[in-house]
Amino acid sequence: MISLVKGDITKDHNVQAIVNAANQSLLGGGGVDGAIHRAAGPKLLEECRRLNGCTTGNAKITNAYNLPCEHVIHTVGPIWNGGFQGEETLLSKCYENSLKLAVKNHIRTIAFPSISTGVYGYPVEDAARVALHTVNSFLSDHWQEIDEVKWVLFDDRTYQAYQKELDKLRNAGELYINKMLQNSAVAKAYGDAMDLGNLMTIAPHKKRYYSRYDINWLIDEIDLGKKHSYVTFWHENAGYENGIFSQWYHDPGCPIIINGREYLTAEQYMMSEKALLFGDLESYSKIMSEPSPRKCKQLGRGVKNFDQGIWDTAFREILFHGNLGKAQSDIQFLSALLDTEDAVLIEASPYDDIYGAGIEKQDLLTIDGELKVHPKNWHKEGSSKQAENNLGFVLMGIRDLYNDLMR
């Protein structure tokens, strides 16, 4: 994925390598170059002395020493001379050659600064365009070898310039994740004529998919002696397996795009649609500007003019659309969902008996993956209400939709 953060590239950004915007000597300098050398310690300079410098547009790799990553990739950006001395080509080569080194050294996660936009004077807006288009193009061909490319940007102006270019790519459908889908085995099975970006509008009989499974279906299956495997999930937080299936899961590099609008999480989409359904534009505005899924849920609970009967007839379709949009926007989510094959998906939340089972995994399944508790007895502690597991069943419907389209 491609993502942007504002901060200091020498801090921990959970990547295997960071890129240094170096000078030709590779012996340190000002700006990002100096900061990386200071943070890495003197052993970085010792190793760089043995590299005999680097020409503009090329890249070399070293260890990271005291930095919180494994490697530093040093690349030399062009000095801006009005754009008439091949600066764009050289800047593009910086990114391309850095990524080639990453692939060669089995580096799957990498962070870049904004190369050449400091003392070298390259206009930030132009540099952002070159950077994002180059990396996007590279990832289109190497998406199986690189998991994440992020830019760590120091100031607001630079961050906004890169965000603007990233938005252009995403809105034009040119972001590598779309090409990745088109080139994947999943997409090939759909046929070249299929427009993945319009899956929601062309999917036949959508209701059949979001209403196909429910708790009564599972109860009947088990009572008839049918065997199933089970996959559980809960929060997106570290420590809970399959957290990518959570309504609260947030990938900064893959916002959910539905009807041209961006949503940070499926929870934000669902609660915003709830507010719109009941005409509460004030709550809708607050939800759309709220990054926390927990707070989105709280705001959704306070929607004015709420009618439980109306919501009961509408929420399944909204849940379906939010997660279908997530599948369209995030290849990792879609791949994880398809990897569950024909398993029954269960939100193993002890607190949620509407979207989940009201029971945690360790109380729900044996070590061998067999059910400890018959689904007719799923409920939250202290409650006799039949748990519904709506999120798990809707995700199964989305999985069926993709599998049907692949046949």
- pLDDT single digits (tens) 108-161: 899 999 999 999 999 999 999 999 999 999 988 887 788 889 999 989 999 999
Phi, psi of 4 (to 5 degrees): -125, 140
Domain containing residue 380: CATH number: 1.10.357.40
Residue at a domain's end among 156, 181, 206: 181
> Same domain for 123 and 11?
yes
Q: Contact, 351 vs 359, CB < 8 A?
A: no
Q: How far is the C-alpha of 342 from the C-alpha of 227, rounded, in Å?
A: 11
Together in a domain, 265 and 131: no
Statement to judge: residues 162 and 64 lie in one domain: yes
C-alpha–C-alpha distance, residues 218 and 207, integer Å: 19
> 180, exposed or middle or buried, with CB in 10 Å at 0-12, 13-18, 19+?
middle
Q: Is residue 257 part of a domain?
A: yes
Tens digits of residue pLDDT in 22-74: 999 999 888 999 999 999 999 999 999 999 999 999 999 999 999 999 999 99
Backbone torsion region of residue 26, taken as left when φ is above 0, otherwise alpha when ψ lies between -120 and 50, otherwise beta: left
In a domain, 274, yes or no: yes
Q: Do residue 292 and residue 345 come from a single domain?
A: yes
Indicate whether 186 belongs to any domain.
no
Same domain, 177 and 243: no
Query: First vs last Cα of the chain: how many Å apart?
Result: 28
One domain for residues 78 and 161? yes
Whether residue 190 is contained in a domain is answered as no
Mean pLDDT to the nearest integer, 390-395: 97
Q: Is 155 a catalytic residue?
A: no
75, 214: one domain: no
Number of domains observed in the structure of the chain: 2
Query: 33: domain range?
Result: 2-181
Instruction: List the alpha helices (DSSP H) in 67-155.
Output: 87-104, 124-142
Of 209-213, 224-228, 285-289, the poorest mean pLDDT is in 209-213
The domain spanning residue 148 has which CATH number? 3.40.220.10
pLDDT at residue 237 is higher than 80: no
Which of 154, 181, 208 is the endpoint of a domain? Answer: 181
| pLDDT, position 177 | 58
Rounded to whole angstroms, what are the CA distances from 298 to 39, 287, 356?
Answer: 42, 9, 17
- 189 found inside a domain: no
Q: From the candidates 33, 126, 251, 280, give the one annotated as an active-site residue.
A: 33
169 and 200 co-located in one domain = no
Q: What pLDDT is attached to residue 145?
A: 84
- Are 345 and 394 in a shared domain? yes
Which has more confidence, 239 or 124?
Answer: 124
What pLDDT is attached to residue 201? 43
Percent of the chain with pLDDT over 90: 71
Under the banding of pLDDT at 50, 70 and 90, the label for residue 332 is: confident
Whether residues 19 and 110 share a domain: the answer is: yes
Alpha carbons 210 and 315: distance in angstroms, whole number: 10
- Residue 162 in contact with residue 131, Cβ under 8 Å? yes
Is 275 inside a domain boundary?
yes
pLDDT of residue 82: 93
In a domain? residue 213: yes
Q: Which of 130, 146, 181 represents a domain boundary (last residue)?
A: 181
Same structural domain, 17 and 84: yes
Q: Are residues 333 and 213 in the same domain?
A: yes
Residue 378 domain flag:
yes
